[in-house]
Chain A
Amino acid sequence: MSITLRVALIIITVIYLYLIISSVKKRKMQSSIAIFWIITGILLMVAILIPNFIELISNLLGFEQTSNMIFCLTIFIAFGLIFSLTMILTKQANRTILLIQEISILKAKILALEETINDKKEDKK
């Protein structure tokens, strides 16, 4: 890796980490989810800073080519992420359904109450 490429990559990774942390600060991302992204950022940083780091691991694991390991890893992580997102989605959907149901029942109750109150007022008049 040439020095210029390495410097460029480091700058990009720093910006990446900064974006994550600032979005947590602004409460745009939950910190529990942000941990995952911060770990990926740190891993990227390590891979850039320590030369031959990735080659070492891929040799250790027995990949024929380093790029194969990276593709493999990325796909696994992406699948895991999508899987967990689907689960979160279902949970959210269930909660939304419950909310809609409860609010609708409450609204109906309030309407009925208002009507009885109005009827009583009219009776008094």
Chain B
Amino acid sequence: MKKILLIIPAYNESKNILSVYKKIKEFNKKESKVKLDYIIINDASTDNTLEICKKYSMNVINLISNLGIGGAVQTGYHYAYQNNYDIAIQFDGDGQHDINYVNDICKPLINENVDICIGSRYLDNESSKFKSTFMRRLGKNIISIIIKICTSKKITDPTSGFRAVNKEIIKLFTLDYPTDYPEPESLVNVIKEGYNIKEVPVSMNERENGKSSINFLKSIDYMIKVSISIIIDSMRFKKRRKYKEE
């Protein structure tokens, strides 16, 4: 059986983290085939996220200083690498992601020749009720187009934080993971390293509590920085990998 780890970055998620934890427990009870381990990365939250985690004796790593989403997620990859996990799944601490899709997102890694599998909200139109705001969709379309131009791969949901990666990519991410806006940039890195990407349709919930951290000015700033870093990253020489036929 494959060892699977959920990496849950949490910054000031005191209202959501408990329900996420309960859902994982329910999932483990319900499913006999897979057992999910999880690790919560508390990114030096200023609220009582850590106290809640301790109270319910959750599996938590408390970052001694705030690193931002990229640094927090990378900590999870370090943990996965050190504890020899086969698959690591990024899973948001704010309840946006639906745990029932974990099986779907893992299947391509186990059965097919896929290294990284992304849960996409936009792959087919019916599966997801929550598509987020117009501005965010516009933003992700632009990023999608830039990635398409730079790498000739079509990624429908490049900003999705719901993705599963195999051992090789866990190692890659421990060595190099972008800090500021990690999702699209790390995707380009993975494509440039010659790994196989697949997207599966998932549905995401609206945030249960709390506000999303992105506003108008920030999203413009985000777009510019992401575009530039994608373009620079795509200038790297593409590696070709040979896959063992299994």
**Which residues of A does B touch, CB under 8 Å?**
97, 100-105, 107-108
Please give, as numbers and ranges, the residues of chain B lying within 8 Å of A107 by CB-CB distance. Answer: 61-62, 64
Is chain B's interface secondary structure helix, strand, loop, or mixed overall? Answer: mixed
Alpha-carbon distance between A38 and B64 when the two chains are bound, in angstroms? 39
Q: Which residues of A contact B82 (CB under 8 A)?
A: 105
How many chain-B residues does the 8 Å CB contact rule pick out? 14
In Å, the complex CA distance between A102 and B74 comes to 11
The smallest C-beta distance from B64 to any residue of chain A, in angstroms, reads 5
Known: A101-B63, A101-B75, A105-B78. 13 other contacts (CB 8 A): A97-B71, A97-B74, A97-B179, A100-B63, A100-B64, A100-B65, A100-B67, A101-B74, A105-B61, A105-B79, A107-B61, A107-B64, A108-B60
Q: Is the interface of A mostly helix, strand, loop or mixed?
A: helix
Question: Which residues of chain B are near A101, meaning CB under 8 Å?
Answer: 63, 67, 71, 74-75, 78
0/1 interface trace, chain B 64-88, chain A, CB 8 Å (1 if under)? 1101000100110011001000000
Bound CA span A16–B61, Å: 49
CA distance A103 to B74 in the complex (A): 13
Docked pose: A101 CA to B63 CA in angstroms: 7
A102: B residues at CB distance < 8 A: 78
User: Can you name 24 A-B pairs with beta carbons within 8 Å?
Assistant: A97-B71, A97-B179, A100-B64, A100-B65, A100-B67, A101-B63, A101-B67, A101-B71, A101-B74, A102-B78, A104-B61, A104-B62, A104-B63, A104-B64, A104-B75, A105-B61, A105-B75, A105-B78, A105-B79, A105-B82, A107-B61, A108-B60, A108-B61, A108-B62
Q: Please name all residues of chain A whose beta carbon is closer than 8 Å to the beta carbon of B78 when the two chains form the complex.
A: 101-102, 105
Nearest CB of B to A96, in Å: 8
In the assembled complex, which residues on chain B have CB atoms less than 8 Å from the CB atom of A103? 64
The 7 tightest CB contacts between A and B, nearest first, are A108-B61, A101-B75, A104-B63, A97-B71, A100-B65, A104-B61, A104-B64
Interface centre among A97, A100, A101, A105 (most CB of B within 10 A): A101
Which residues of B have CB within 8 Å of A100? 63-65, 67, 71
A39→B62 CA distance, assembly (Å): 47
Q: Which residues of A contact B67 (CB under 8 A)?
A: 97, 100-101
The distance in angstroms between the C-alpha atoms of A103 and B75, with both chains bound, is: 10
Chain B minimum-CB-distance residue to A101:
B75
Closest chain B CB from A99 CB (angstroms): 9
Q: How far is the CA of A105 from the CA of B74 in the complex (A)?
A: 11
Q: How far is the CB of B130 from chain A (nearest CB, A)?
A: 32
User: Nearest residue in A to B176 (C-beta to C-beta)?
Assistant: A94
Distance in angstroms between the alpha carbons of A31 and B221 in the assembled complex = 39
CA distance A100 to B62 in the complex (A): 10
